[in-house]
């Protein structure tokens, strides 16, 4: 749970930094959000596959850690 919380916190910090930098450049919040989401639409198929693969391995790692902890707890 700590890993998920820290990952989401890191994501929010990065998005906040990007929003702040774009607002300093004179963009509105909606333009900045469009700029953030536009990165994924411009990715090539190989880049999207690697991103999907990264998230898959990350979720599998979380699942194995959770299952090991659940198995080791006495019931």
User: Sign (positive/negative) of CA torsion 53, 54, 55, 60?
Assistant: positive
Would you mind telling me the total number of residues written for the chain in this entry?
75
Confidence band (pLDDT; 50, 70, 90) for 75?
low
- Confirm if 19 and 29 have CB atoms less than 8 A apart: yes
Q: In whole angstroms, how far apart are CA 23 and each of 16, 17, 33?
A: 10, 10, 11
Which tens digits make up the pLDDT trace of 49-65? 998 999 999 999 999 99
Higher pLDDT, 43 or 68: 68
Which tens digits make up the pLDDT trace of 5-64? 999 999 999 999 989 999 999 999 998 888 888 876 777 888 889 989 999 999 999 999
Return the pLDDT at 14. 92
């Amino acid at each position: 749970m700590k890993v998920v919380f820290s990952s989401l916190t890191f994501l929010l910090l990065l998005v906040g930094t990007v929003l702040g930098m774009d607002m300093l450049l004179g963009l509105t919040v909606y333009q900045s959000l469009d700029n953030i989401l536009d990165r994924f639409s411009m990715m090539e198929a190989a880049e999207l596959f690697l991103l999907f693969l990264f998230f898959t391995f990350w979720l599998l790692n979380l699942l194995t850690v959770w299952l090991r902890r659940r198995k080791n707890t006495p019931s």
